[in-house]
Structure 1
Amino acid sequence: MAPNPSTSNGNPTPATLALNNQIMGKLKPAKLFKAAVDNTPSPPAPSGQTQRPPTPISRSITGITFDDRGDTVVTASEDETFRLYSCKTGKLIKTFYSKKYGVDLPRFTHKNSAIIHASTKEDDTLRYHSLHDNKYLQYFRGHKGKVVSLEVSPIDDGFMSGSLDKTVRLWDLRSPTCRGVLSLPCPPIVAYDSTGMVFAVAVGVFSKILLYDQANFDKAPFLSIDLDDVTLALISYPPRPIFVTSMSFSSDGKYLLVGCSGGAHYILDAFEGYMMAKLEGHTGLERKNMTVPPLIEPSKGISGEEVSWTPDSKYVLSGSLDGRVFIWDIQGLQPRSEHERKYPPSRIQPTVVLDGHPGPSRCVKFNPRFAMMCTAGTELAFWLPDPSGDAEDTGKDLPKKKGVA
């Protein structure tokens, strides 16, 4: 049986999750995991060698994925582990190790006992892992460069990956051989729409997004979108290019959220392709200094997992270099006429800004079924609406009454 209609990361779209500005403004960390990443300093030198102070390590969580029902969440981190947590009890269930291959871009399949993930060393193979018995179920070989984008189809066992080898590969969990390859002029970023019938490919060098029919992916894209933000000319000349690090469609299929390495994210009309809104206020994770204009690293480094939708697609969430979490209300967006589309995008400031982590908030995701948000950097936090307004980590189990089924 096919899963219910879902968001682009495979999570089901709940009809009963009623979020509003008041709830979003009352989100507070209900549980904080300070030991969610192993940052143990390097050991001292062996006896007889020059002794140096232990080298501090600052590793981060690099990816978060919820299962379809929102009961559990898996994190992947730079310490070469992935960890399974219960969203209902707020407790760590199990830690898994991938010291040989590393782990990145974890994605739940439509079974809550299995994930796929990318590798960070040894090779560029994708791995299908059973959380139930800690075994690899399948290997997906073919990429000749690091996988930088990985998404599961919302309707079946298909998934796709984008790599530094400048290809998109389409896969099926039931076969180790890819069923299609797209060659691009640069490393691509990919996303499924909520029906699974359309997917998008971002071609960063040319500031383009290509939309393909899933059933005819070997044909030309049916829509080519130019990412042209005329407001960038007000900052520098020539305007710096837009570098895409993530994409996700809204649950209703109307919008395409384009996450970028710089100080703005964008919302496009998913049918016509024109730029509707520019989300501002945060500091992009790839920012290297505080000069004006800022120096932006033109590659996908630590960004990509920090921006996402709420399940109802009323809000966009984003992390920031300073650790804060930004929330934009996009419910007021209106379609543009043919004439209005030539105007600059609406520049939207955040409705809510939440104090987050020490260091960059690298991952921000909202639970698909409960009024709960997850954020991560060097620490992991579970957020719930707090009617008292007190930002306090009690260290107790997550209260189930906070959930909205």
Structure 2
Amino acid sequence: MTTVPPGASTNGTKPQTIALNDSIMTKLKPAKIFKGSVEPLPAPSPSQVPLRMQNPPPRQITGLTFDDRGDVLVTAAEDETFRLYNCKSGKHVKTLYSKKYGVDLPRFTHKNSSIIYASTKEDDTIRYHSLHDNKYLQYFKGHKERVVSLEVSPIDDGFMSGSLDRTVRLWDLRKPNCRGLLHLPSSPLVAYDNSGLVFAVAINTFCRILLYDMNNFDKEPFLTMTLEDPLLKLISFPPRQIYMTSLAFSSNGKYLLVGTSGNAHYILDAYEGHLLAKLEGHVGMERVRMEATVGLNPTKGISGEEVTWTPDSKFVISGSLDGKVCIWDVQNLPIRVNEPIDLNRNPMVLQPLATLDGHPGPSRCVRFNPRIAMMATAGSELAFWLPDLAGDGSDEVKEHFRKKLGG
């Protein structure tokens, strides 16, 4: 369930709720595009750089985060800024800078006045930052290389981080030292389930996903899943290895969405580990390269932010290198209960319910508002998307909404 579009009149009554459906999802359109969402690189003198480097690609937004109420959004970008936007008025509120340390993987805490984020240079410290008075509240030191995965607990002040130093660290916002440490064979991705009692760790070595009990994280994982797509054998042999870039549980805890750098994302059964669905139709963000000593590593720029669930987990949304936004209806996934794991069993292949145009350039980051019927996408610019409900008896709401967003 999600609320009516922001700004819509409710005549003083309790805010109306609507269920997301195929009609609403296929009618999402850019309502406002924020020009200048990222500061461009300074123009070099033609005499200072080779001709082939005089037109560098635009800098990108690398992360998006909504607060719990869906009122505000923060972006992080390669220009070392993070910007705050009001989702209901559709306005840019302020720009803050982290020029010394860089900024990536912004995540709201359970207060919309503070975020945590990862550094991109100088050190590998995680920073706890007050948006209200632009001050650091705490530093979380311990990682020896860049943090590539960062998630806040859904139930308390805990959070987790995964790093290129091949460790996962568990933290508490109130204490500077980590309260848990896992050593892994390669750089990990992390995700909480909605209960906050289980967390998952994905490692690209052998394409494994490990599930841990939060109360016994120092013990062995209680479930180990293998992500293996038998359909890849039909394309090449040996099959291309999957490189996972993101991990997210569905809101009901039944499924695990695995984003990859290639042209497919996957959904697994979160209870037993069956590969249920393969999502095709988008263009993967970047290729990866093989290093014998480290294993698979992403090339510069993969954020893992381009694929997400809707809040009700009925749909999956993904950006694409060609700028399109793909939407898959995942309400009718196969049911496999108490069946043995069969790594040679083909998953259900899903094509997009809709492929949306309108995003300027590659859609590197995609997030759906947790409370409001709106979506945000980002690359070199930020876009707010709203359902265009003309002809559905909602013209008045639509017009009010667009005026509020300046569209």
**TM-score category (smaller protein):** 0.7 to 0.9
1:303 Cα offset (Å): 3.9
Which residue is 2:395 aligned to?
none
Mark the runs of 5 or more structure 1 residues left unpaired by the alignment.
Answer: 1-13, 289-295, 390-395
1:302 shift after superposition: 1.9
Percent identity over the alignment is 68
Q: Counterpart of 1:25 in structure 2: which amino acid?
A: T
Larger deviation: 370-379 or 380-389?
380-389
Tell me how far 1:143 sits from its aligned partner. 0.2
Letter in 2 for 1:257: L
Q: Which residue of 2 aligns with 1:369?
A: 371
The answer on whether the counterparts of 1:41 and 1:57 sit within 8 Å (CA) in structure 2 is no
Task: State the distance in 2 between where 1:282 and 1:51 align.
Answer: 33
Residues in 2 aligned to 1:186 and 1:201: alpha-carbon distance in whole angstroms? 11
Report what 1:138 is aligned to: 138
1:20 matched residue in structure 2 = 21
Tell me the number of residue pairs that the alignment of Structure 1 and Structure 2 aligns.
377
Q: Is the 8 A contact 2:41 2:59 kept in 1?
A: no
Secondary structure in structure 1 of the residue aligned to 2:75: strand
Shift of 1:338: 5.1
The one of 346, 362, 381 equivalent to 1:360 is 362
Partner of 1:160: 160
> Distance between the aligned counterparts of 1:200 and 1:359, measured in 2?
32
Distance 1:164 1:105 in 2: 14
Instruction: Please state if 1:319 is matched with 2:286.
Output: no
Cα separation, 2, equivalents of 1:164 and 1:39:
28
List runs of 5+ in structure 2 lacking aligned partners. Answer: 1-14, 289-295, 392-397
Compute the TM-score of the two structures, normalised by the length of structure 2: 0.87
Corresponding residue for residue 34 of structure 1: 35
**Cα deviation digits, residues 321-372 of structure 1 (max 9, x gap):** 1010000000011312555853211000000100143331100000000000
Over the aligned positions, Cα root-mean-square deviation in angstroms equals 2.8
Q: How has the CA–CA distance of structure 1 residues 163 and 98 changed in structure 2, closer, same or farther, with 3 Å as cutoff?
A: same
The offset of 1:269, in angstroms, is 0.5
Query: What's 1:293 paired with?
Result: none
Equivalent residue letter for 2:317: L
Distance 1:144 1:28, change over 3 A: same
Within the candidate set 369, 379, 382, 2:381 is matched to 379
Moved more, 366-375 or 233-242: 233-242
Residue identity opposite 1:80 in structure 2: E
Matches of 2:383 and 2:400, distance apart in 1: 12
Structure-2 residue corresponding to 1:127: 127
Alignment of 1:68-87 (within 5 A): 68-87=68-87
TM-score, normalised to structure 1, is 0.87
What is the distance in 1 between the residues matched to 2:380 and 2:19?
A: 30
Superposed, 1:5-404 pairs within 5 Å as 16-44=17-45, 55-287=55-287, 298=298, 301-337=301-337, 342=342, 343-388=345-390, 399=401
Describe the shift of the 1:382–1:122 C-alpha distance in structure 2 as closer, same or farther (beyond 3 A): same
Change (3 A) 1:369 1:398: farther
Question: Per-residue deviation at 1:401?
Answer: 10
Q: How far apart, in 2, do the equivalents of 1:236 and 1:228 lie?
A: 14
Q: Is the 8 A contact 2:160 2:168 kept in 1?
A: yes
* 2-structure distance, mates of 1:28, 1:61: 20
1:242-267 Cα deviation digits (max 9, x unpaired):
11100000000010000011111000
In structure 2, do the counterparts of structure 1 residues 337 and 173 end up closer, same or farther at CA, with 3 Å as the change threshold? closer
**Corresponding residue SS for 1:320:** coil
Alignment partners' CA distance in 2, 1:248 and 1:326: 17
Deviation of 1:301 after TM superposition, in Å, equals 3.7
User: How much does 1:228 deviate?
Assistant: 1.3
SS at match of 2:232: helix
